[in-house]
Amino acid sequence: MSNRTPAAGQTLAAARPARRGRPGNDVESVLAAAVRLFNDGGYDYTSMVDIAESLRITKSSLYHHVSSKEQLLQMAMDRALDGLFEALSAADRAAGHATALQRLECLVRSSVLVLADRMEFVTLLLRVRGNTAVEQQALRRRREFDARVTALVKQAQAEGGVRPDVDAATAARLLFGMVNSLTEWYRPRRGGATHLADTVTALAFDGLRQR
């Protein structure tokens, strides 16, 4: 038996790489487990004990990685919102050489890719209702995002790129209603996100009708 022990130990280490001397990876797996539980059972109804149990670690081990449930929610909200705001900033940076319509198309396409890549975080973002300070701040950032998309739609209308007969705020909400619906039905698969981003952008700007 004794000559098998190191191998067994290696197997264990390989199966649990995130919990062996790599604190960076550990936080990632804690965050992933927490977000899965928040999405399945609701943030309010998930405890730090539930998160520790799902990871098969003790509560004190969990607190070694994160200080509170709120911190995990904050991290999840940042993952989702930072991705969307980076897409917005990239669109803004193109202002010198791209029309507002082109930037809006680029934003829709990038947002689909962010959602596909950060599905669990965005799903949680779309479910929070503002019961805590962290949720309220996330809702404020979502409203800021919506306002900036609306401003971009307005600019595209002023430039003649977007139809003028549609209210800009309504258009922005419907655009992102379509994009956000991905969290309800999209299941990531290799290469699928780029194709889906093309489809969403095509439908959003040119519609379903054959021409």
Binding site for a second copy (CB under 8 A): 42, 45, 101, 104, 126, 153, 156-157, 160-167, 170-171, 173-182, 184-185, 196, 199-200, 202-211
* Shortest distance (Å) from residue 161 CB to a second copy: 6
Q: Which is nearer to a second copy, 1 or 208 (CB)?
A: 208
* Shortest distance (Å) from residue 20 CB to a second copy: 35
* Shortest distance (Å) from residue 114 CB to a second copy: 16
* Shortest distance (Å) from residue 171 CB to a second copy: 6
**Environment class of residue 210 by beta-carbon count within 10 Å: exposed (0-12), middle (13-18) or buried (19+)?**
exposed
Q: Which is nearer to a second copy, 55 or 200 (CB)?
A: 200
* Shortest distance (Å) from residue 196 CB to a second copy: 7
Q: Which is nearer to a second copy, 85 or 186 (CB)?
A: 186
**Nearest Cα to 149, choosing from 76, 198, 80, 92?**
92
Output the CA–CA distances (angstroms, integers) from residue 41 to 59, 104, 159, 185, in the order listed: 19, 35, 46, 18
**Nearest Cα to 118, choosing from 188, 37, 191?**
188
**DSSP secondary structure, 50-78, as one string:** HHHHHHT--HHHHHHH-S-HHHHHHHHHH
Which residues neighbour 101 within 8 Å (Cβ) at sequence distance 6 or greater? 156, 159, 161, 162, 205
Q: Which is nearer to a second copy, 30 or 172 (CB)?
A: 172
Q: Which is nearer to a second copy, 25 or 199 (CB)?
A: 199
